Structure 1
């Protein structure tokens, strides 16, 4: 097992950088695979629908089942990383993720596929916060952590866009099951690299921490609450807002949320440690991350559908069309720490969010059956730049000023808010898109799958996403005010995200 202190430098002290870089590469690979699995299915959805006889609602649940389990269990995964050790949690999560990915590729019915996607989400919920906690542990605040989070943001953004590309290539060449088999192989390789390159968890004194310390009631209740909430919002598109299939799950979500809050007050080691939301910039950064997640997931869901169902592209062509977005996303992630120096972290964040809003508005104006795929390059590049900048800044802010003992759960929380924001956002965007498409179809008397009607629905979704990004930009002063009001002894919000100056 490697240790961070390996090579002497010119001053005769240990140079930890090579070992740190190796560990960061392994952790970034784990994050890449987790994010990849969120978007790799998007371009293959039409083929998956035909392969396992999915309905339109079931097709969205192939995406939501993963995001829902992932997002709802991230707090439990983050706390498990704090209590059991981040490296152990990472290894267990990647192992489960790999096995579930293989099962998804072998699934022949909708319920088996969706169940395997849930299991993938459970594994990802253990791996993702543990990986981020290890990054925080290995890189102290300052320039080193800023650069590490820049890498983290780049691979996260690249994983989202590359998932669409890889999904197109694999679906066209080998069939849709291979998108899941590839994720399983990637998780297995990331697991092997982590076991070889990431330092072992520090030895802790025996304190009797065991199963009783894990807040299972809180974890189960918040998971069920979010599942009920997203199910109710998703059902709006087929049942209407006043239907019992909508109102019942929404009411259940409220009851389960109250149960979660009660469990948190009574448990000796709650999922959300007392005062976590008052540490650093945790509360406002997570609010903005939820909004960013809604835009992120909505974009990677509807863009491939636009390219295939409206513009007539095949899976491979639609995947290749994501390359400019992926490249721009990686560039934005790399630029974020550099821009935050001269502009300041909050102006940089606002600029990234406004770039997303402008790109989404531009994309909405081009959402017509006559548009060429190359015509989408401009708006998707602008969106990718803004997404990369905003993600890095918000991730840094969400973990700045947090106690080391809460590093895992703070990493779990920021991933939770992004995933849950994405799941809720996709449900709302889907309801809007379906409603607008139905209205257009009724007004014109055309077929349900008419490209013009679908384009109207996707345009409405992109416009709502643009408004969400613009509203997020308007809320960035919350970060500045929270930083200004903190005690002077607290760490500055810029330390993790810039070289000298958050999300």
Structure 2
């Protein structure tokens, strides 16, 4: 039998994960062009982001379970193909509903391929130095995808069109599918025992979250007390209660509820959800502000985000070193405070101030702070669970990050649009009204970061091992 190079396998897996992460940020700089071309309303535009993150987070744990039972390579290929096909469909969309639907299914594809790829990686590399290097590369390339996404998106939009932020995935997916049989082993699953998929849990949880987010979004045009808004919010809560009931009774639950008896895991889950809310909200609002208020091209907007990405990379290095010296809670508290400072600085930007004075300091601080929270929270999340349940714990907090981001984005966008609408009604110019909405939105995101400061005070102080640092880098 032909011997496959594990490093070639890593290259295939990391490139697949790279495009999954890339698709969160690459779309942001294209949003104003998508809005103008497809006639998105201000409140519905966020669904281009939220549909992807909600389905990705909602089905991530089911994807991991499917990889365990059906074989990770099979699920990896299925997820990759689904991701590629829906990328093509998204680029061909001619209406808001069509694009949102494609983005939702694209998120489902990511939820299948991402945990399957990580499962293949952990089996391919033996425990020790090689696996640590592989995990570091995996986590680093995933983070790089987020940073490069804004520049790649801007370049594609300015030189071609917004459709190419989706089309670019297609040739990459085709190339990966072609080389997978050569470089990735077909790891067979253990057929002993019944195969149980907690599909009901995944559907209930995701449907409940979608209903809650939709209710929040509709609050701006309809009012919080309208029958439509109240109905969707109540229905969403009922579905989430049903999700918890199903998980409690399931013999193969997506989320073993006993894990949340761990204070470190529970607090970390809330902290990462707030972190995701702040990050997605800031990214969404600032991408639109740069282009619609300051007049940036898509590429200029992407380049203006780059210092934040560089700060996040630096923050990851600093956080990884500091947690071993001063502990997770201290680093996480520092990251939360820096995030608050970054968002408050950004919230003071107006239409005329210089980028270097009004935006750059806040972007750098926020980039440092968001990672300063994420790294120690990921480590703390798995610190008190059994080793064989570390994967489930890591999956749970990753899901919380995605879900928190989508819900936070809905709240921030709704309140931001309300402020813009009120300003226009009082006779403000459109540019000034957009500035006021942007400023309010970032102040609300700042409240999420302040809540994170308070939450962090309740988390245990942990001195992690080198192995825990490596696992956190891969899960981030």
424, 441, 465: which is aligned to 2:445? 465
In structure 2, the partner of 1:78 is 64
In structure 2, the partner of 1:353 is 336
Task: Tell me whether 1:478 sits opposite 2:426 in the alignment.
Answer: no
Question: Alpha-carbon deviation of 1:223?
Answer: 1.4
Deviations 1:305-332 (A, max 9, x none): 1111111111121111122112222222
Segments of structure 1 that go 5 or more residues without pairing to the other structure are 7-18, 484-491
Task: Tell me whether 1:446 sits opposite 2:432 in the alignment.
Answer: no
25, 32, 55: which is aligned to 2:18? 32
Q: Distance in 2 between matches of 1:37 and 1:152?
A: 16
In structure 2, the partner of 1:489 is none
Give the 3 Å change call, closer, same or farther, for CA 471–77 of structure 1 in structure 2.
same
In structure 2, the partner of 1:319 is 302
Segments of structure 2 that go 5 or more residues without pairing to the other structure are none
TM-score, normalising length from structure 2?
0.89
In structure 2, the partner of 1:15 is none
Question: Alpha-carbon deviation of 1:437?
Answer: 1.6
Give the 3 Å change call, closer, same or farther, for CA 148–473 of structure 1 in structure 2.
farther
Give the 3 Å change call, closer, same or farther, for CA 464–72 of structure 1 in structure 2.
same
Question: Alpha-carbon deviation of 1:280?
Answer: 8.5
In structure 1, the partner of 2:154 is 168
Question: Which deviates more from structure 2 when the two are superposed, residues 244-253 or residues 260-269?
Answer: 260-269
| Residue pair 1:355, 1:382 contacting (<8 A) in 2 also | yes
In structure 1, the partner of 2:400 is 417
Q: Distance in 2 between matches of 1:135 and 1:360?
A: 36
Q: How many residues align?
A: 471
In structure 1, the partner of 2:352 is 370
Q: Distance in 2 between matches of 1:403 and 1:189?
A: 38
Question: Alpha-carbon deviation of 1:208?
Answer: 4.0
**CA RMSD between the two structures:** 2.9
In structure 2, the partner of 1:234 is 217
Q: Distance in 2 between matches of 1:410 and 1:196?
A: 32
In structure 1, the partner of 2:256 is 273
In structure 2, the partner of 1:249 is 232
Question: Alpha-carbon deviation of 1:87?
Answer: 3.7
Question: Alpha-carbon deviation of 1:417?
Answer: 0.6
Question: Alpha-carbon deviation of 1:459?
Answer: 1.0
User: Alignment partner of 1:333: what SS?
Assistant: helix
User: Alignment partner of 1:480: what SS?
Assistant: coil
Q: Distance in 2 between matches of 1:454 and 1:76?
A: 40
Question: Alpha-carbon deviation of 1:374?
Answer: 3.4
TM-score, normalising length from structure 1?
0.85
Question: Alpha-carbon deviation of 1:241?
Answer: 0.8
Deviations 1:137-191 (A, max 9, x none): 5678888777666555544443333222211110110101100011333444555
Question: Alpha-carbon deviation of 1:357?
Answer: 1.6
Q: Distance in 1 between matches of 2:224 and 2:265?
A: 33
Give the 3 Å change call, closer, same or farther, for CA 398–326 of structure 1 in structure 2.
same
Task: Tell me whether 1:182 sits opposite 2:134 in the alignment.
Answer: no
